[in-house]
Structure 1
Amino acid sequence: MAYVPQAEEVARLRFDLAARRPVHPMTAAFGEHRNLLFSVAYRILGTAADAEDAVQDAWMKWSAADRSEVADPKAYLVRIVSNVALDRLRSAQARRETYVGPWLPEPILTNAAEDPATVDLADSVSMAMLVVLETLSPLERAVFVLKEAFGFSHGEIAEAVERSESSVRQAAHRAREHVQARRPRFHADRARQREVTERFFAAATGGDINTLMQLLSPDVTLWTDGGGKVRQAMRPVIGADKVATWFAAISTRPYQGVEIADMTAELAELNGSVGIVFAGAGRVIATLALDLDHTGHITAIHNVANPDKLGAVTIRVVRQV
């Protein structure tokens, strides 16, 4: 398989560049934009594993290209990864239609201290936004991501997705209207998000239904993604009573074969916001992300427990936020 620089190798590459050590121009250009390529692919695809594969494909195409005629490596690489991601998304959508239970995006660990751009892009990578993007067509999704999240012009996007500029403008307009009609209308600040998440965690693990009812919006929706691999709710759980009861029941029995007493949980930055990572038996077993309204009540809960979707969380050390 062709070599592609991984994240830790990119870090070493940056050190070499700073120290003015010789680095192959092809590797240097790719390494410089690797994080951007993953960010674009992840927002288009909604899965970290597929995004990494798209970056791998982009590297192979970049390696085989005649780079003597490439005036702008960044634009060229974004074009490659966007088209690869579009192709992968079209085939993935068919599989998602037969998915067992609700389908949620793969959670990823983010860290604003390491990557200041995370703060500005937090909304575009949030679980709630990625769920909304799932309702767009592949072209609309790619155009929206490139325009709204990364600020590419319509002309640049047209080149990237190999469409006319007029069709890109139309797709951007449709996508923007669609997203604005469905996206959460309030974004809690970090302190409020952390406070509510901590209170929710304490109440849920302690089986405190009264506190859960105080935290939950009356029409709160719980989405649980087990993918048929682990036992989860097969349909969205709607309403404060049902959601509170669901979590209270969880605290009284083993979860995925792990006793509650043997389970650990930490607050972590998931998809640009404070979330919860549950671990036990030497593995990450679930993540939780909460959406809040302007009053601080929880309007949606995204619970990912499918082990196939926890790789991006498992392979990194979960740090306390």
Structure 2
Amino acid sequence: MGRVAEEVAGAPHEAPFMRHRGLLYAVAYRTLGSAKEAEDVVQETWLRWSRVDPATVADAEAFLVRVTVRLAIDELRSARVRREAYVGPWLPEPIRTRPDIADDVVLADSVSTALLLVLEALSPLERAVFVLREAFGYPYAEVAQLLGRGEPAVRQLAHRARKAVENRHRRYDSDPATRQQVTERFLAACSGGDITALIGVLAPDVTMVSDGGGFTGAPRKPVHGSDLVARAIVVLSRQQPVGSTSGVLPVNGGPGVVVRCDGETVLVMTLHLAGGLVQTIHVVSNPQKLTGIAG
């Protein structure tokens, strides 16, 4: 819960906050696409909650979500300015998710890197409305109260956000078993440096987007086509530190390839399938964006 929270453990504030902490982080992460920024927002929410008398709050969840989403909107506005100077493609920070989340298509999709990227095109308010309404099912009236907006305005924001997402968001294969099988085949081909086997799991027009943030040798432009992507992945595999290990773990609502060295995560790949083949690959190697992958 953080150092400040630990200092007041046992206080009347702690139980209600901890009961909703998972929800607060989930809202903040989907609004921001950043694990670190989401944690910062949740910590600031705790600080604000610790300054009020819980007995005066009729609905702790509504209070905490309202503070979280408004802080996230403010953080998103400043984060977008910082991202304008980002080196190379910007991708959402990958996070570990529960293995069973893949069985809930809506929930898994709401945290996928593909959707989080689409949400980047929305205004901060549109994104907050979309997250609260579509990912968590809050009624329009409640979303309006959380955001301090009128319900008609919220409905209009939701309509614009939904339309923008529908126009931009490609629907990928969602069957958990297929995704797991293809990801395992992909990793086996990578580990063996087998370009032919790798091409066999890639769609002909596959695209690979890499986010190294200028800290690693990640390509600063997307790579297109199965042959070029396969060769780039083999080169990438050979560049991993000596002693590194790789495995398939649940990442952002589905199976992902995670590479570790000396207990630290050094690279994460999330695969998006269409027709049983890998259509899009998101690779994150920026060390500052791998804190959400642990354990």
Shorter-chain TM-score: which interval? over 0.9
From 288, 292, 295, give the equivalent of 2:273. 292
- 1:79 equivalenced with 2:66 (yes/no): yes
Aligned to 2:57: 70
User: Which stretches of structure 1, 4 residues or more, deviate above 6 A after TM superposition?
Assistant: 115-119
Deviates more, 1:58-67 or 1:232-241: 58-67
2: CA distance, partners of 1:118 / 1:284: 27
Aligned to 2:217: 231
2:292 alignment partner, SS class: helix
- 1:111 equivalenced with 2:91 (yes/no): no
What are structure 1's unaligned runs of at least 5 residues? 14-22
| Structure 1 segment 112-191 matched on structure 2, within 5 A | 112=99, 121-191=107-177
Do the aligned partners of residues 94 and 175 (structure 1) sit closer, same or farther apart at CA in structure 2, a change above 3 Å counting?
Answer: same
2: CA distance, partners of 1:117 / 1:75: 28
Contact 2:102–2:176 (8 Å) recurs in 1: no
| Structure 1 segment 1-321 matched on structure 2, within 5 A | 3-4=4-5, 24-112=11-99, 121-251=107-237, 253-255=238-240, 258-259=241-242, 262-293=243-274, 295-313=275-293, 316-317=294-295
C-alpha RMSD of the superposition = 2.2
1: CA distance, partners of 2:73 / 2:52: 20
Do the aligned partners of residues 192 and 116 (structure 1) sit closer, same or farther apart at CA in structure 2, a change above 3 Å counting?
Answer: closer
Contact 1:224–1:236 (8 Å) recurs in 2: yes
1:229 alignment partner, SS class: coil
Task: Tell me how far 1:287 sits from its aligned partner.
Answer: 0.4
1:109 alignment partner, SS class: coil
What are structure 2's unaligned runs of at least 5 residues? none
Q: How many residues are treated as equivalent by the alignment?
A: 294
Identity %: 47
2: CA distance, partners of 1:140 / 1:119: 22
Q: Which amino acid aligns with 1:164?
A: G
Task: Tell me how far 1:117 sits from its aligned partner.
Answer: 9.6
Task: Tell me how far 1:274 sits from its aligned partner.
Answer: 0.6
Deviates more, 1:116-125 or 1:161-170: 116-125
Task: Tell me how far 1:249 sits from its aligned partner.
Answer: 2.4
Q: Which amino acid aligns with 2:38?
A: A
| Bigger relative CO (Cα 8 Å, ≥ 6 apart) | 2
Aligned to 1:18: none
2:271 alignment partner, SS class: strand
2: CA distance, partners of 1:117 / 1:74: 26
Do the aligned partners of residues 171 and 203 (structure 1) sit closer, same or farther apart at CA in structure 2, a change above 3 Å counting?
Answer: same
Q: Deviations over 1:183-223 (max 9, x none)?
A: 22233311101110011111122222222222111221101
Q: Which amino acid aligns with 1:254?
A: Q
Task: Tell me how far 1:98 sits from its aligned partner.
Answer: 1.1
Q: Which amino acid aligns with 2:131?
A: V
1:301 alignment partner, SS class: strand
Q: Deviations over 1:144-178 (max 9, x none)?
A: 00000001111111111222211111111011111
Do the aligned partners of residues 2 and 211 (structure 1) sit closer, same or farther apart at CA in structure 2, a change above 3 Å counting?
Answer: closer
TM-score, normalising length: structure 1: 0.86
Do the aligned partners of residues 27 and 118 (structure 1) sit closer, same or farther apart at CA in structure 2, a change above 3 Å counting?
Answer: farther
1:210 alignment partner, SS class: helix
Do the aligned partners of residues 116 and 201 (structure 1) sit closer, same or farther apart at CA in structure 2, a change above 3 Å counting?
Answer: closer
1: CA distance, partners of 2:77 / 2:213: 20
Q: Which amino acid aligns with 1:106?
A: E
2:115 alignment partner, SS class: helix
